[in-house]
Amino acid sequence: MNILEHLLPGLSGTSYEITSWCNSDYNCIAWAVGDGTEWWWPGRPDKSFWPAAVPRRETLEAFEALFTFLGFIPSADDVPEPGVEKVALFANRHGLPTHAARQLPNSRWTSKIGRAEDIEHDLHAIEGDLYGQVVRLFQRPARA
Amino acid sequence: MSSLLNNAPPAEVDVETEFRRLAEWWNEETKYLSNIGLAVQHPAYRAIVALGPPVIPILLNELATKPDWWFDALEELTGASPLTSEIGGKVRLMAAKWVQWGRDNGYGV
């Protein structure tokens, strides 16, 4: 078992794919909203990017505000829809946000795994101790 | 996570070797986290900071060649804060800023 499957055991036996090299330039939140250049997190402003209009707090409410600020609305399900971009927000058992993933047109999901690689995966395959569970789904019109 | 005691270094290991060992441990156990605030609390990262000033040029050289999240360690070790909100999240620019700080402060990086 590789280290990825050790930390995300739900991937074992699924058809996930590693789709990039390791990269510390951007993280899961950035990747979920279409930015492959910056590290998005509500930490110190000299170390991480976070829109100024969104509360800089590590709470579910602040992350909901982030997606709303970026034009997302709550989504009822993870069923792919033409012309619609969906993202999933994960939180741990304490309700603290841990991760976000973005749905691809082929109905699978893409995640940037921390400072490591991007992977293409089934949405719920990365739930577990590390990222917790999917707690919110959002959608917005797909960009051209 | 492994305990620090189980990962204690052998006696008389040089700082570079010890940094490599700790960095590998830290990467293995935290590279899947987006929350860097958690990652820098890991025992391996704390042990890198505990190596003290001799590890500063090693961290600066790492940032010059393969940028990673050594910003917190450098800030703790040097007391300097060369980063600004204009480049927050732009990891390569943040690394370049620290490298420039190193050059300005007499580190051969």
**For residues B27-54, average pLDDT:** 96
B90 and A45: CB-CB below 8 Å?
no
Q: How confident is the model at residue B1 (pLDDT cuts 50, 70, 90)?
A: very low
**For residues B50-78, average pLDDT:** 97
Q: Which two tokens stand for residue A42?
A: 């509500």
Say what the ipTM of the complex is.
0.91
B89 and A49: CB-CB below 8 Å?
yes
**For residues B12-18, average pLDDT:** 87
Our CA-based measurement puts residue A8 at a distance from the nearest CA of chain B, in whole angstroms, of: 9
Report the share of chain B in percent with pLDDT over 90: 86
**For residues B81-101, average pLDDT:** 97
Place of tokens 């590890």: B55
Q: Is B76 on the interface with A (CB under 8 A)?
A: no
Q: Which two tokens stand for residue B10?
A: 């052998």
Place of tokens 């500063």: B56
pLDDT (0 to 100) of residue A117? 92
A115 and B37: CB-CB below 8 Å?
no
Q: How confident is the model at residue B10 (pLDDT cuts 50, 70, 90)?
A: low
- The whole-model pTM stands at 0.91
Our CA-based measurement puts residue A121 at a distance from the nearest CA of chain B, in whole angstroms, of: 15
B88 and A44: CB-CB below 8 Å?
yes
**For residues B88-98, average pLDDT:** 97
pLDDT (0 to 100) of residue A94? 94
**For residues B71-91, average pLDDT:** 97
**For residues B30-54, average pLDDT:** 96
pLDDT (0 to 100) of residue A63? 98
Q: Which residues of A touch B33 (CB under 8 A)?
A: 98, 114-115, 130
pLDDT over threshold 70, residue B9: no
Q: Which two tokens stand for residue A19?
A: 């789709």
For all residues of chain B together, what is the average pLDDT? 91
**For residues B51-73, average pLDDT:** 96
Nearest to B37 by CA among A3, A50, A61: A50
Return the number of other C-beta atoms located less than 10 Å from residue A82's C-beta: 6
Q: Is B34 on the interface with A (CB under 8 A)?
A: yes
Q: Is B41 on the interface with A (CB under 8 A)?
A: no
Q: Which residues of B touch A114 (CB under 8 A)?
A: 30-34, 39
What residue ranges of chain A have pLDDT lower than 70? none
Q: How far apart are CA A112 and CA A39, in angstroms?
A: 11
The 8-class DSSP code of residue A99 comes to E
A116 and B67: CB-CB below 8 Å?
no
Q: How far apart are CA A40 and CA A59, in angstroms?
A: 14
Quick one: B65 exposed, middle or buried, by C-beta within 10 A (0-12, 13-18, 19+)? exposed
